[in-house]
Structure 1
Amino acid sequence: MEGLEENFKLAKKQDSKAQKELYEMFSAKMLLVAHSYTNNIYDAEDILINAFLKCFSRINECREWKSFPFWLRKIVVNDSITFVRKNKNIMYVDVEIADELPEDDEEDILAEINIEEIFSHMPTGYRLIFNLYVFEEKKHQEIAEILNISEGTSKSQFSKAKKWISDYLKEKQNEKKYTDTIKI
């Protein structure tokens, strides 16, 4: 990213112009990260603002300009998790489920369904663990520590999230087949 190194160094000296530049460089991407956890744009915006305030007040903790994007993302993810934990009632229930996605016309269905649409319907607990495991590449043991749950619960919820996505895609696939039948 052009200007990242210079803006990072100036932001460490509390240069407000450089802080604004960093905000403009990363705010859209970090908003998407926060939104993927909260499923609410207004909550995601609040998290984003607080994360940047925290970032700029603690910027000296980040030693290298190259690691700044990852450090900022970690702040956004942690703040998002804290927000979800405080504001949502997440139920964790252990049930044995299958992990397979639908095979018929899977690519067609996936092409028509936006990832955001899937996450907007996914239950909060599933979405939280799915995001941490898939997008943040956390291990179940780490997720358990972050969310203060057992490792088994993390694995179970991840499995349920995959099953939920599978069922959701099957439902969309059936809707598409029904719609295609009506058009004939």
Structure 2
Amino acid sequence: MKSNKETNLIRELQQNNRDAQRRLYQQYAGKLNSVCMRYIGHQEDCKDVLQDIFIRIFTSIVSFEYRGEGSLEAWINRIAVHECLSFLKNKGRLQSFILVQEDLQRESEQIEEPFPELEKVPAQVLQELICELPPGYRTVLNLYVFEEKSHKEIAQMLGIAEKTSSSQLYKAKALLGKWIKRYKKQNAYG
């Protein structure tokens, strides 16, 4: 029956129904804010991007084709990721793909186990650590881990080489691993 509610909501949204827009906002704002925080990391910027996401949803919904349960959420999520990436590109925050950061590379080479006992780290702490990653690392990590994109897809989306995507992911995991070890040590884990 969820699909009936979803198709009705889509139909109302396509008719520019304000109540339907409000319901969609209430249903997805929290999830989309989390997506924004994973990519952008700053709440004030996330508010602006979240507004852009909903504007894009409401203006593009007329061309949306329902393909079964979950297709609306997947479509909305793709818009959110696209808007986050556009924001980062426009702000010039993806330039770290090009830069080789020797300090981070040295640190990452010293890490044997990328995510030691990840289950002992609270989700909020992990999200904060991800937000602290350099933008290029954070973007590739999000696309690879959360959006389940391949390095080929990431390379196409961001206009980088596949090897750069792979390298950025490795460095992101290595840096997170180091920070997780430090967090656990400071909080008397392990």
* Rounded Cα–Cα distance in structure 2 between residues aligned with 1:100 and 1:16: 50
* TM-superposed deviation, 1:68: 1.1
CA distance in 1: counterparts of 2:43 and 2:83, whole angstroms: 15
- TM (norm. structure 2) is 0.82
Q: Distance in 2 between matches of 1:33 and 1:112?
A: 14
Aligned twin of 1:134: 145
* Structure-1-length-normalised TM-score: 0.85
Percent of aligned pairs with the same amino acid: 28
- The residue aligned with 1:48 is 50
| Residues in 1 aligned to 2:123 and 2:35: alpha-carbon distance in whole angstroms | 22
Q: Which moved more, 1:126-135 or 1:17-26?
A: 17-26
Tell me what 1:21 maps to: 23
Q: State the Cα distance separating 1:153 from its structure 2 match.
A: 0.3
**Paired AA for residue 46 in structure 1:** D
Q: Which runs of 5+ in 2 are unaligned?
A: none
Paired with 2:20 and 2:5, the residues of 1 have a C-alpha distance of: 9
* More deviation, 132-141/92-101: 92-101
Deviation of 1:107 (Å): 5.2
Aligned-partner SS, 1:14: coil
Is the Cα–Cα contact under 8 Å of residues 99 and 159 in structure 1 kept in the other structure?
Answer: no
Report 1:1-184 matches (<5 A).
Answer: 3-64=5-66, 66=69, 67-87=71-91, 88=93, 90-92=95-97, 93=100, 95=105, 97=109, 100-101=113-114, 103=116, 106=117, 109-111=120-122, 114-177=125-188
> Cα–Cα, structure 1 residues 75 and 34, in superposed 2: closer, same or farther, change >3 Å?
same
Task: Flag the 1:139–1:99 CA change in 2: closer, same or farther, 3 A.
Answer: farther
Note the alpha carbon deviations across 1:104-136, whole angstroms, 9 max, x for none.
xx3574248622221232221111100000000
Select the structure of larger CA radius of gyration.
Answer: 1
Equivalent position amino acid for 2:96 in 1: M
Structure 1 unmatched runs, 5+: none
Mapped contact 1:99–1:162 kept (Cα < 8 A): no
Aligned-partner residue type, residue 126 of structure 2: I
Distance 2:164 2:184 in 1: 30
> Pairwise CA RMSD of aligned residues?
2.5
